[in-house]
Structure 1
Amino acid sequence: MKRGTKVATTGGSLVALALLAGSMAVSQSPPAGPGTTEAPMVPVGLVSFDSCADALAELRAAARASVGPYGFAGDAVLFGDRVAAAGGAESMARTFAGAPGDAAGRDTGAGHSTTNNHEAGADEPDLVKTDGRRIVTVTGGVLRVVDPVSRRVTGRLDLAGDREELRWQEHRLLLLGDRALVLSEDPPRPADALRSIRPPGATRLLLVDLAGRPLVLGTYRIEGSTVDARLTGETVRVAVRASARLEFPLASEGNDQVRTERNRKVIARAGVEAWLPEYEWTAGPERHTGRVGCDRLSRPDRMTGSSTLTVLSFDLTADRLGDGDPVSVAADADTVYGTATSLYLAGQRPVPVTGSKPRWRPSSAEQITDIYQFDTAAPGRPRFLAAGSVPGWLINQYALSEWAGHLRVATTTGDTWSEGTASESAVRVLRRDDGSLVPVGMVGGLGRGERIYSVRYLGPVAYVVTFRQTDPLYALDLADPTAPAVTGELKITGYSAYLHPLPDQRLLGVGQEADSQGRTEGVQVSLFDVRDPGRPARLDQWHLPGGWTQAEHDPHAFLYRPDTGLVALPVDAGVRLLRVSGDAISEIGEVTHPVGNDSSRRQWGPSVRRSLVIGDVLWTVSEAGLRATDPASARSLAWIAAT
C-alpha cells in the first residue's frame, strides 16, 4: 500500500477568473495521484432569482436537461460504493497527539451522559434524550418521560393518534429545558397515495412542553424528507430535501427518446409551485399554510431542477414553531455537518443525462460532491456564506471537519464493485474566500482499490480507515493546510467503521474483523496507540464471531464513559458492556430486554438501540422499554415496560 501524495494549491487566480456575476463556476480535473497536481474546483456562490417568472424559466430549463426516459437520473443512480450511514462521532476536547483537539460534544464523565455528537455546541437529534433529571423517549408513536430516581414513567403522550402508520415511523428528539422537538417523517395519507403516482411524503415536527403533563404546543409539516437537524443555542435548524413534484407518465410504449420527450412536456406544463415546498403549522386551535417564496430561493450555477433543499429555523423557547423562516436552494444534499457557528449541507452532484439514455453509474470524473456553508452563529434564519466542490463522495458527516478557519473533506473517488476497479481516497483542505470554499491543499492516493470506512479528525490530526481486504489505518498531519501529509499507516485485517478518541492518546475502533480475503467474521473493537504519529499500533482487540453492531452505521448508539472506562455497545439484540483500562479491553457482561411487558420471560426482545448513564446507573432503551443496570456488574436494577 503506497503512502498518499501531497499537493498544495493556491487557487487565487482561478478564483478571480471564476467571479462571474456571483454564479458558481467549477473547474474539474481527474483526481490526483502520485506525482500529479490537481486543478482546484472553484464554486463561487449562489444566485437569487429576480422574479418567480425567472425562477420558473430556469428551473424548467434545468429539469428538461436533466430528465431521461425514466425520470431524473439521480433517482436511480448508484454512487460508487456509497452507504447510508447516519449518526456521528464527537471531536476531542483535550490535547491529543501533541496538539489541541476540537472542542467537541464529548462525554466528559459528568453526572449524566449526552448524545454522542460530532461537535460541541451542535446537538444532534436522537432516539432518546436526557438532561440528568429525566429521560425522554418516543417508541411506537408514544412519547414517554421517565424519572431516573423513582424509575417510573411520569409522563405519556400519544403522538400518532388514530394514524396507525405513524406508529411505525422512527421519531427523533431534541431537548432544551422543558421543551422537546420531535422529528419524524409523515408518510402519504392513503387518499394521497391513491391520487398520485408519487404521493408526497413530508417532514413532521412537534413542539412538546414537558413542564408538567406532556403537551403538544404546536406542529409543523413541510413537503420533503428530513436530511438532518442541529440545535445551536436555542435555535434548531432542520434541513429538508424535496423532490420536484412532477408526475411523469408510466406508459411503456415508445422508445427512450419518446419517453424522454413525454417527460419534458410534463416539465414544460409545470408551474413554479412544483419546486417550492408547501408547509402548514399549528399553534393550539390556529392553523396556517404557506409555501416557500421565490424570494427565499437561490440556485447554484449548475443545477438539475430535480430537487430543493430548505433550511428551517425554530426557536425552542417559544410557545409555537411558526413558519420556520425558510431559506431554500435549488440543489441536492444528503449530509449535514454542523458546528456551533456553521451548518454545512453536502451531497453528490447528480449524473448528467447523456442524450435520452439512463445513466446507472457515474464515472470517476462525474463523482463530485457539492458543499454549501451557512452561518448559524446568530439566532434565526441562517446566512449563506460559501459553496465548494470536491471530487468523490462522502461516507458520512464525519468526513467533514471545520478547524482553524478551514474545512477538511475526506472523499473516495471510483468504486470497488469489481476486482481491478480504480478507486482511491483523499483528504482536501478548503478555505472560505469571497463566497467560495477554495482548495488550498490535499493528500491523495489513500487506499487504492478500496473505499473509506471511517474518518476521525482531532484538531490538526486525522485518522482515515480504508478497506477492501485489509484495513489500513492512516494517520495524517493537517497542521499546515497547504501541505497535508500521511505520517503513518497500520495494516491489519478487518476494518473500523467508527473511531472514538480516548485519553492518553489512544483511539477505539468499532467495526468488523475479516479474513485475509476481506470476508467479515463478526464485530470487533480495537484499541489503538497513536502517540507516535509515524507508528500507530493496535494494543488490544475484542472480537465476537458472527456479531454485528449498530454503532458501525450510527455512532449515536455508542457510549463511552472516560471516568470509568465503560463502553456500551449494541451487539445483535443486546448491549455488550466492555471496560477499557490501560492498554486492555475486558468484557463486563451483557444487557438484554424481554419480550412484551413480562420481565420474567427469558426470550429475546426487540434490539436494544441506545445506552445512557445517569449517576452510577446505566439505562438501555428499546422498543419494549427501558432497563436500569449496574454498569460495573451488568446486574439488572429495574425494568420499565413501554406500555
Structure 2
Amino acid sequence: MSRRSWLWSALAVLPLAGCTASAVETPAPSQPPLKLVAFDSCGQLEKELRAATELSSTTAPGDTRLAVPDSARAAEASGPKSYSGTNVHEAGVDEPDIVKTDGRRIVTVSGGVLRVVDAAARTQTGQLDLGLEAFGEPTLLLAGDRALVLADGGGFRSLRDDTRIMRPGNGRSEVLLVDLASGTPRLISRYRGDGRIVDARQTGSVARVVISSGPKIAFPWRGEPEPENVMQDDKNTIANTPVDAWLPDWEITTGGTTTKGQLDCSAVSRPDSFSGQTMLRVLSFDLNAPALGAGDPVAVMADGDAVYGTGDRLYIANNQSWRFNTSGTGKIAAPDGTDIYRFSLPPVGKPAYVASGEVPGHLLNQYSMSFWEGHLRVATTSWTDDASAVRVLAERDGKLVEVGAAEGLGQGEKIYSVRFIGSRGYVVTFRQTDPLYSLDLSDPAKPRVTGELKITGYSAHLQPVGENRLIGIGQEADRKGVPTGLQISLFDVSDPAAPKRLDQHVVAGGQSEAENDPHAVLWWPATNLLVLPVADAKSAGALAVHITGDRLQGPARFSATSRDDGSMRRALVIGGDLWTFTGTGLIASNESTLDRIAAVDLR
C-alpha cells in the first residue's frame, strides 16, 4: 500500500476540526458568520496552533492559488488621457503586473531584471539586475519615480521526498523598492520574508501586499511505517514545535545594513476555526517612503486565494481547501464554503480588520467579488452539485451577512467568468454550451436573473467596452463542449431580459494569455481598440480589433516582438504609439495602421 494511499485512508476517519478560544471543536455542518478576535497571549496562540495543526497536518491542502489567477482590470475609463496603463478590476486601484507606464517611460521586469524605456525616444535608458532569490515571475507597481517589485517565493512542496503529502512551502518572497529618478534604476531597499505572495493592491502611493505562509515544522522521515505510526510521529513533532515556527520572520536590507524581525503574537487574529497550516498577513508599503520598513503587518490564521480591493477596503477570500471530511460518503471532500475577510484601508498606516463571513461554494477569482453601494456581491459555484449563485452581503456588527441571493445558475455547470457593473451582474457558466446570465442587483434583498443567452463555447473574461457592451474572451467549442479555438464575442446587454451576441471572431486552434490573465487585455476607449495576445500552431503575436457600433472591425494579427521570437504578453498605448511587450522586446507600432515604428531589444 503506497504512502499516499494509506494517508488518504487514514484521513477518511479524521473529524473536520478547528480551533476556538479555549478548545478544539468539530464545527457543525452549518457555521455561523465568522468572527475574528485576537489571541489573549502567546501561550494561547501556541496552544491553539498546535491543536489545529495536529488535526489538519495530514490533510493535503494543495496550492490554494486559483487556477485562473485573474487580475485584468479596466472597468470603465475615467477620462481622456494620453496613455493606457494596464488592465485593472477597479478604476483607481492598481494591480501588480510585468509592465507599467506613467506615460513617459515604460518599466518592465523579466528574467530577474528591471528595465526602463524612454517612450518618446523609444530607447532603453537603464536596467537593474534585481538579484532575486524568489523563483516566481516578478511583477511591479509604479508611483512617481519609484517602482515596487514583488517576487513570489512561496508554493507547496513534499518534505524529504515524502510523498505522503504536499505541505505548505516556506520560501522567502521579496519586495524591492527601486528608485527611477535618474533614468538608471537604483535599488533602495529589499524586504525578504516567509511565505508566498497572494496578490497586492495599490491606491495612490501605498501598496498593500498579501502574503500567506505555513509553519516551519520538520516532520520526521520514517521510511515506510504503518499509517498510525506516521500520524503519531507527526503529532509528537507538532507538540514539541515552538510557537516561533508559526510566526513568519523577515529581513530588510537598505544601504548595506540588514535588520531582522518576526511577527509578534499580538498582531495575529483568528477566525472561529482554522487549520494551523497557514497564516495570512497584509503588509503596507509607501512607495514614496525613504526606505522599506516591516510593512506594519496585520495577520490572520487563514489562507487566501483571491484579493479584491477598492480605494478604502480590501477583501481576501479563502476557499477552505485545508479542510477535508468524508461528507458521509466515505470519500474525502473539501467543505463547500468560502471565508471572506474585510479590511479597511486608511490613506496611511496599517489596515484594520472590519468584518468576515462565509458563503457556500467557491470563487473563481477576484472578479467574483464586487462592492457597490454598501454591499458585497459574490458569485460562487458549489463543489457538490456544480450549481452557481450570486449572493449579496452586508456588514452587521463585524459580520458579513447574506441579505439576498440569486441561486440556480447553470445547474451542473461551473462559473467561467463574472463581471459586475453597477447594479447589474453578468455570469458565464459552461459545460457544453455557454449561458451568459444577466442579473438585476439593484435591490440587495432580491437579486434576480433577468435574462439568459445560450451559445457554443464560453467566455473566460468579460471586458466592458462602452455602455451596454461587453467583450467575451474565451474559447469556441463544438456541440460536445470541446474547445476549438480562441473566441472573441461582442455582446449587447442593453436589454436585461435578452442579452445577445452582435458579432464574433474565432481564431481556429488559437489561444490567448488573456483567457487566464486579464492583465493581458488592452482596452483603449479613446479609439475603441482592443488588443490581446494570440497564438496558434503557426505563429504567436497580437490581435487588434476595433469595436465599431455592432461590429468587430478588421480583426488583424500582427507581429509583437522585435525578432519575432516570442509571444506578446502585454500591450500599452502611449500617445499615438501602440507598444507590445514580451520578456525579450518592446515594439512601437502606429496605433491606427499597426505599422512598426521602432523596436527595443531587452536582452
TM-score > 0.5 by shorter chain = yes
RMSD, aligned CA: 2.7
Asked if 1:528 corresponds to 2:473, the answer is no
Q: Deviations over 1:537-558 (max 9, x none)?
A: 1000011000001111111100
Secondary structure of the corresponding residue to residue 389 of structure 1: strand
Secondary structure of the corresponding residue to residue 53 of structure 1: helix
In 1: Cα distance, 2:125 partner to 2:333 partner: 53
Superposed, which structure 2 residues align to 1:320-359 within 5 Å?
A: 320-353=291-324
Q: How many aligned residue pairs are there? A: 570
What's the CA shift for 1:257?
2.2
What's the CA shift for 1:632?
1.6
CA contact (8 A) 2:405 2:445 kept: yes
Query: Higher relative CO (CA 8 A, sep ≥ 6), structure 1 or 2?
Result: 1
Which residue number in structure 2 is paired with residue 413 of structure 1? Answer: 382
Asked if 1:183 corresponds to 2:150, the answer is yes
Question: What 5-or-longer segments of structure 1 have no aligned partner?
Answer: 1-18, 30-40, 93-105, 416-421
Asked if 1:46 corresponds to 2:7, the answer is no
Among candidates 70, 75, 87, match of residue 71 of structure 2 = 87
What's the CA shift for 1:350?
3.0
What's the CA shift for 1:84?
3.0
Q: Deviations over 1:140-198 (max 9, x none)?
A: 211111111110111211112xx6x66x641111000011101112479xxx999xx98
Asked if 1:155 corresponds to 2:126, the answer is yes
Distance change (3 Å), C-alpha of 1:503 and 1:317: same
What's the CA shift for 1:249?
2.7
Asked if 1:66 corresponds to 2:56, the answer is yes
Q: Deviations over 1:348-390 (max 9, x none)?
A: 11354559x9998525xx1110000000033111000000100
Distance change (3 Å), C-alpha of 1:170 and 1:198: same
What's the CA shift for 1:110?
1.7
CA contact (8 A) 2:267 2:299 kept: yes
Secondary structure of the corresponding residue to residue 121 of structure 1: coil
Among candidates 483, 490, 501, match of residue 464 of structure 2 = 501
CA contact (8 A) 2:356 2:400 kept: yes
Which residue number in structure 1 is paired with residue 542 of structure 2? Answer: 575
Which residue number in structure 1 is paired with residue 212 of structure 2? Answer: 241
Which residue number in structure 2 is paired with residue 382 of structure 1? Answer: 351
Which residue number in structure 2 is paired with residue 610 of structure 1? Answer: 570
Superposed, which structure 2 residues align to 1:221-232 within 5 Å?
A: 221-232=192-203
Which residue number in structure 2 is paired with residue 303 of structure 1? Answer: 274
Asked if 1:172 corresponds to 2:139, the answer is yes
In 1: Cα distance, 2:26 partner to 2:404 partner: 19
Give 1:638's aligned amino acid.
Answer: A
Aligned-residue identity in percent:
47
Which residue number in structure 1 is paired with residue 409 of structure 2? Answer: 446
Question: What 5-or-longer segments of structure 2 have no aligned partner?
Answer: 1-19, 162-166
Superposed, which structure 2 residues align to 1:104-183 within 5 Å?
A: 106=77, 108-160=79-131, 169-183=136-150
Which residue number in structure 1 is paired with residue 474 of structure 2? Answer: 511
Which residue number in structure 1 is paired with residue 448 of structure 2? Answer: 485
Distance change (3 Å), C-alpha of 1:295 and 1:198: closer
Distance change (3 Å), C-alpha of 1:142 and 1:293: same
Q: Deviations over 1:99-124 (max 9, x none)?
A: xxxxxxx3755200022111123210
Q: TM-score, normalised by structure 1?
A: 0.84
Distance change (3 Å), C-alpha of 1:564 and 1:204: same
Asked if 1:467 corresponds to 2:430, the answer is yes
What's the CA shift for 1:488?
0.2
CA contact (8 A) 2:169 2:195 kept: no
Runs of 4+ in 1 over 6 A off after TM superposition: 23-27, 357-360
Distance change (3 Å), C-alpha of 1:609 and 1:76: closer
Which residue number in structure 1 is paired with residue 551 of structure 2? Answer: 584
In 2: Cα distance, 1:275 partner to 1:249 partner: 18
CA contact (8 A) 2:419 2:427 kept: yes
Superposed, which structure 2 residues align to 1:188-337 within 5 Å?
A: 200-212=170-182, 213-337=184-308
Secondary structure of the corresponding residue to residue 138 of structure 1: strand
Secondary structure of the corresponding residue to residue 74 of structure 1: coil
What's the CA shift for 1:88?
2.7
CA contact (8 A) 1:351 1:359 kept: no
Give 1:408's aligned amino acid.
Answer: R
Give 2:595's aligned amino acid.
Answer: R
Q: Deviations over 1:299-357 (max 9, x none)?
A: 111111111001111111111011111111111111111110000111111354559x9
CA contact (8 A) 1:26 1:42 kept: no
Among candidates 565, 589, 594, match of residue 629 of structure 1 = 589
In 1: Cα distance, 2:592 partner to 2:453 partner: 33
In 2: Cα distance, 1:24 partner to 1:539 partner: 55
Secondary structure of the corresponding residue to residue 54 of structure 1: helix
Distance change (3 Å), C-alpha of 1:358 and 1:185: farther
Secondary structure of the corresponding residue to residue 382 of structure 2: strand
CA contact (8 A) 2:529 2:544 kept: yes
Which residue number in structure 2 is paired with residue 38 of structure 1? Answer: none
What's the CA shift for 1:563?
1.7
In 1: Cα distance, 2:416 partner to 2:404 partner: 22
What's the CA shift for 1:482?
0.5
What's the CA shift for 1:437?
0.1
What's the CA shift for 1:91?
3.4
Distance change (3 Å), C-alpha of 1:359 and 1:611: farther
Secondary structure of the corresponding residue to residue 261 of structure 1: helix
CA contact (8 A) 2:169 2:213 kept: no
Which residue number in structure 2 is paired with residue 75 of structure 1? Answer: 62
Q: Deviations over 1:10-35 (max 9, x none)?
A: xxxxxxxxx999x9998755xxxxxx
Secondary structure of the corresponding residue to residue 462 of structure 2: strand
In 1: Cα distance, 2:478 partner to 2:27 partner: 42
What's the CA shift for 1:235?
1.3
Distance change (3 Å), C-alpha of 1:20 and 1:445: farther
Distance change (3 Å), C-alpha of 1:25 and 1:250: closer
In 2: Cα distance, 1:25 partner to 1:345 partner: 24
Q: TM-score, normalised by structure 2?
A: 0.90
Among candidates 492, 502, 505, match of residue 539 of structure 1 = 502
Asked if 1:638 corresponds to 2:598, the answer is yes
Q: Deviations over 1:493-543 (max 9, x none)?
A: 000011111223111110000011100010010001111000001000011
Give 2:410's aligned amino acid.
Answer: G
CA contact (8 A) 1:76 1:360 kept: no
In 1: Cα distance, 2:160 partner to 2:261 partner: 22
CA contact (8 A) 2:142 2:148 kept: yes
Which residue number in structure 2 is paired with residue 99 of structure 1? Answer: none
